[in-house]
Amino acid sequence: MSIYLHVHSNYSFGRGASSIEEICLKAVKRGIRAISITDTNGLYGVIQFVETAHNCGLKPIVGSEVEDSSGNRAILLAENRSGYGKICSILSARHTNPSFSLPSALASSGMDGLLVLTDDIPMLSFLLTATAGKKENMYVEIPPSPPLCGVSISPSGYTRSKLLTFAQKTGFKIAASHPVCFIGSEDFHLACVLKGIFSNSTYFKCLRKRDDRELTPDSWLWDAGVFRKRFEDIPDALKNLEEISRRCSFIPVSAEPLLPGYPESKGIMESKMILRSRCLDGLKWRFGNHPAVKIINRLEYELGVIEKMNLADYFLIVSDIARFARNNYIPMCGRGSAAGSLVAYLLGITDLDPVAHNLYFERFLHEGRKDLPDIDMDFAWNRRDEVIDFVYRRFGQDKVAAISTHVKFAARGALREVARAFGVPDGDVSTALKHVPYDMPPRFLEGSKNKYFLPEGEPWDTIIRIAKKLDGFPKHLGIHVGGMVICPEPLYNYLPVEPASKGIIVTQWEMTAVQKAGLLKIDILGNRSLSVINDVLNELSIRQEKKPFLNFNLMTLMDSAGKVKLSCGDRFEKDERVKELMRTGNTFGCFYIESPAMRGLLRKLRCDTFAGLVAASSVIRPGVSSSGMMRKYIECVRKKSFAPVHHLLKELLPETFGIMVYQEDVMRVVCDIGGLSHQEADLLRRTLSGKRGGIEISHLKDKFIAGGMRRGISLREAEEIWKQVSSFYGYSFCKAHSAAFAEVSMRALYLRAHYPAEFMAAVLSNHGGFYSTSAYISECRRMGLEILPPSVNRSMVNFTAEGNGVRVGLGQIAKLSQKNAHSIIRERELNGEFGSLENFIVRMKNHLGRDELETLVMAGALDEFSEGLNRFALLWKAIFLSNRSGSFKVPPLPVFKWNHLLKMLMEIKTIGFPVSCHPMKIFRSLIERSGQIDLKSIINASQMGSMEGKKVKIAGIVVTVKPIRTRDGKGMAFLSMEDETDLFDVILFPSAYAKARIALERFSGPFLVTGGVVNDFDYFSIEADEIQPIFLSHLERSTYPVLPSFYTGAKIE
């Protein structure tokens, strides 16, 4: 049996040039039966390695090659859990302790359960003394014999003969070791490129300079026979490999969840009692003193499952986090499948009654589930850090860490890094990659030279070929957007940690590995819409005479006497304003329902109920819509009828006319009609969604069809239902998650309906959502709100509501620091409003530099002191006043040219959007003056409803671009555009998109669209024949459209 104990994957970041899967598959083909992937200073891919090795029939041996800054190195292998914990501890210290020393770390660890292989003679001598001569866990690493003649050198630079002599003199056992950095000899050049990338060097230097004795042309995965032959002269070295393999059987994957105990409990039984007690308190809180029998029965059922699975500690830990947020008035929203749990609702983790909304608990948790269920929580984005700090304090700094993400090479990044490794200047690289998308995987570079205008010939042919090979390769660690791990014991007993790029300590594992190891993962995510809603409620509360008590989660506002001032939790569907906004898709700023596609769907459905909103969130998903089920659902809603494959479907799913819309619907169908267990239904969902790839599910189909036929369903009907199940189960949405998000969206919609100025000011202050700031400004205008310019006497830092308008905040002004924005407001509050331009300059002279004064003037923040001057003249006056010494008068001002276009461009430059009017209003007059286009031939967006079936021309600015690929791989796009009257949607089929793509990448408009108006369920859009930028070339001799792509941020991703 051949055993490899020194193998580097691409998780060695510059030392390995093959993936874990490639290594394991090739090892089996080459007769290897046990292997250890010993990535440099990390266990980044260990869970994937263990899983892949088992699937391939290999024995995995867990370990890592550790190096310190002094050049000491050793391979550490885990004999048991104790040894594994030592490896994690040593690796964590290696990354977090600047003075880390490998010999000292090994000596202090005791090395019980830890096997050490090294060719570092001084370190072995030190350890021999430090351990009082205990040698049973240490091996001298012996390199292979040279193939012909010459000297065999180990990674640390010692000859083979010297290492053998040392081992013989000291009594250390020897172990055969051949460093592997790639699977085939042809991959050596790829390995040199990777080393150049990660060492900030070049391919050519790495090829010539052989300072890394592990990375040589011979460092590939030999056939088992070749490996044995190269060590046939020292059979003990091969024999000891088998001994090591027998000793090392530990893997860091747990069959049972590794839950931390609840801090206030002495054991699982007490935790169960605490959980039950808190649920009973929650019953009174949520349902009063006399809850319905069905509520009590549901609670007993859920508690039974939770107690049987020993998950009481889990629920108590999460409820502590939710309780902290509520007690500190931090807006939160429990989401995901957990929203289907009554226990979660009673504990305050979620805010949606799962019984009233018919949510399916088994989608979240059932007795057959082996891994921990997910409980995800959103918090106001600007207060999320308070929650994270609480988690560290509550459960222990040494037991909590942020979860990392393994950032992979994208096509653009791969091309850039490979080109640099080949010595191509950065300027040439940037020019060459101008048209390559940012997030495209490298594998899509196949045949893409012409498509992305990449250079022809060498070195670019080689650069592109190598960049494609980096598909799926890790580049560095990032920080998961909200994932945290909580361990029952100190982290290093379970996994290594290290600082990410921002200095935050993160796990070396990504989220999936953390879950597969059985550890508790919690998502603590930031949500801007929660902050928007809270900001509006806070603004409303400030208007009360007495300071009110604000309860975000019940959406109520009370004064100190307990009188309700605002309550909309039970009035969503009864409110005509809310219903009208929903029906017409006027949902800009309203969280999950503001995207162009969602607004269009709401119009098509004429949706004005909470249940309809929940369904819309699921049917819009790609899998459901592409399968034709979305269109079928719209037809059913419009006609109020549908003939399903079998009447049992309609009985099971009355809310959705017998159409499977949610994941829970599919679970009900396969369980109630086909007789599958909840565990089998869950396995089916995970397999079809790609979370359990490669698992055979034909037996589930057979069981479903047999079960259906026992229920009286024909073979043809059963197969048709199964076809519907398998076509979109993996892409449909969890109803509980959809309902949780719909609840937040409805709250936002209520506030938009009744407090439009306050709502839009909060949206803008929280940096929007789906759209750019300029798009939200345009929406304010469509809502009838006045956009008020920034003002040193009226503005706060953020946007604020002012009468029937929204005032631009000082914090929006470019080049004005946040510090000085606050300084202006503080001076105004302490010493009164600024009386004149001179008064402002005198009082703020010690704070503001010339650039900041200039940007304040050009943004309009000093217009109230203009005395009839335009902003150029006002700027001239301001600069004079700021520079003068003495009291002499301002000299006569020069005459400065000024017009609406200049004013608009200055506002776009200084605050990001025009305040005075919509840009299309100015563009129309410029287009008319230029004579390029007959304005009479151009319609407004508000006229589209009367143009069905007609060819039209319409001018507008691009708001969003959504590119997709057709089934035959061609690119097309859906555009959302606007003019000064309304939004309109444009469909660009492949031929039109191919012509317009470059212009859409570079500019936001104005564009002229020519095409036909189509009506889809009373939702009008344009199928474009052509879309062209309108070149206003007479302006400043420009040959480009006026608005660059950053204006709306509508770039193609």
260-265 long-range CB contacts below 8 Å, 24 or more apart? 260/313, 260/317, 260/395, 260/399, 260/486, 260/487, 260/488, 260/520, 261/313, 261/488, 262/312, 262/313, 262/316, 262/317, 263/394, 263/395, 265/313, 265/316
pLDDT of 624 above 80: no
pLDDT of 501 above 80: no
- What percent of the residues of the chain are helix, what percent strand, and what percent coil, each to the nearest 5? 45, 15, 35
Predicted pLDDT at 119 = 94
Q: How confident is the model at residue 969 (pLDDT cuts 50, 70, 90)?
A: confident
Mean pLDDT of all residues in 905-931: 85
Mean pLDDT of all residues in 791-811: 96
Listed residue (418, 394, 547) closest to 473, CA to CA: 418
* Gap between the Cα atoms of 340 and 335, Å rounded: 9
Please, what's the b/e burial string for 1029-1039 (b: 16 or more CB within 10 A of its CB; e: otherwise)?
bbebeeeeeee
Predicted pLDDT at 242 = 95
* Gap between the Cα atoms of 868 and 893, Å rounded: 12
pLDDT of 1034 above 50: no
The per-residue pLDDT of the chain, averaged, comes to 88
Distances (CA, A) of 225 to 32, 34, 84, 239, 935: 9, 14, 31, 15, 81
Enumerate domains of the chain plus CATH numbers: 2-247 (3.20.20.140), 268-380 (no CATH), 403-518 (no CATH), 622-732 (no CATH), 785-797+811-911 (no CATH), 933-1047 (2.40.50.140)
DSSP output for 443-475: GGGTT-TTTTTPPPSTTHHHHHHHHHHTTT-EE
Is 175 strand, coil or helix?
strand
pLDDT of 1051 above 50: no
Q: Reply yes or no: is the peptide bond before residue 1006 cis, omega within 30 of 0.
A: yes
Predicted pLDDT at 450 = 64
Kindly state the DSSP code that residue 929 receives in the 8-state scheme.
H
Predicted pLDDT at 796 = 96
Residue 642, token pair as written in the block: 């549908």
Q: Residue 967 contacts by C-beta under 8 Å, 6 or more apart in sequence?
A: none
Is 1 strand, coil or helix?
coil
Mean pLDDT of all residues in 589-608: 93
Predicted pLDDT at 424 = 92
Edge-to-edge strands of the sheet including 564-567?
Answer: 549-551, 556-558, 564-567
Please, what's the b/e burial string for 76-99 (b: 16 or more CB within 10 A of its CB; e: otherwise)?
bbbbeebbbbbbbbbbbbbeeeee
Q: Residue 980: count other Cβ atoms within 10 Å of its Cβ.
A: 20
* Residue percentage of the chain with pLDDT more than 70: 91
Predicted pLDDT at 558 = 44
pLDDT of 148 above 50: yes
Q: Which residue has the higher pLDDT, 982 or 567?
A: 982
Of 198-207, 927-936, 991-1000, the one with minimum mean pLDDT is 927-936
Residue 514, token pair as written in the block: 């953390």
Listed residue (830, 832, 841, 780) closest to 808, CA to CA: 780
pLDDT of 1039 above 50: no
Q: How confident is the model at residue 623 (pLDDT cuts 50, 70, 90)?
A: low
* Gap between the Cα atoms of 24 and 409, Å rounded: 22
Residue type, 279: C
Looking up tokens 């109230």, which residue turns up?
864
Please, what's the b/e burial string for 694-707 (b: 16 or more CB within 10 A of its CB; e: otherwise)?
eeebeebbebbbeb
pLDDT tens digit sequence for 346-391:
999 999 899 999 999 999 999 988 888 989 999 999 999 999 999 9
pTM: 0.87
Of 411-415, 451-455, 823-827, 913-917, the one with minimum mean pLDDT is 451-455
Bridge partners, residue 141, by sequence: 175
Predicted pLDDT at 183 = 95
pLDDT of 572 above 70: no
Predicted pLDDT at 212 = 66
H helix intervals, 860-918: 871-883, 900-911
Helices 610-619 and 735-754: crossing angle in degrees, nearest 10, is 120
Q: How confident is the model at residue 902 (pLDDT cuts 50, 70, 90)?
A: confident
pLDDT tens digit sequence for 828-840:
999 999 999 999 9
* Residue percentage of the chain with pLDDT more than 90: 63
CB 11 within 8 A of CB 44: yes
Angle at 407 between CA 771 and CA 474, to 5 degrees: 155
CB 316 within 8 A of CB 305: no
Q: Residue 939 contacts by C-beta under 8 Å, 6 or more apart in sequence?
A: 947, 952, 953, 954
* Gap between the Cα atoms of 659 and 642, Å rounded: 8
Q: Which residue has the higher pLDDT, 533 or 660?
A: 533
Angle at 48 between CA 44 and CA 50, to 5 degrees: 105
Largest CA distance in the chain: 101
pLDDT of 333 above 60: yes
* Gap between the Cα atoms of 235 and 108, Å rounded: 33
Angle at 352 between CA 346 and CA 354, to 5 degrees: 80
Predicted pLDDT at 545 = 42
Residue type, 412: R
The Cβ-side half-sphere exposure at 861, using a 13 Å CA radius, reads 31
Q: Which residue has the higher pLDDT, 904 or 941?
A: 941
Q: Which residue has the higher pLDDT, 899 or 86?
A: 86
Residue 788, token pair as written in the block: 């008020």
* Gap between the Cα atoms of 512 and 524, Å rounded: 16
pLDDT tens digit sequence for 638-665:
887 777 888 888 888 888 888 888 888 8
H helix intervals, 735-772: 735-754, 756-765
Q: How confident is the model at residue 1027 (pLDDT cuts 50, 70, 90)?
A: very high
Listed residue (707, 710, 688, 706) closest to 697, CA to CA: 688
Is 483 strand, coil or helix?
strand
Please compute Rg for the chain using Cα positions. Answer: 33
Helices and strands in the chain, H and E counts? 41, 29
For 953: left if phi > 0, alpha if psi spans -120 to 50, otherwise beta; the answer is beta
pLDDT tens digit sequence for 434-476:
878 777 888 877 766 667 778 888 899 899 999 999 999 999 9
pLDDT tens digit sequence for 919-966:
888 888 877 777 777 878 899 999 998 999 999 999 999 999 998 888
Predicted pLDDT at 225 = 93
Mean pLDDT of all residues in 487-496: 94
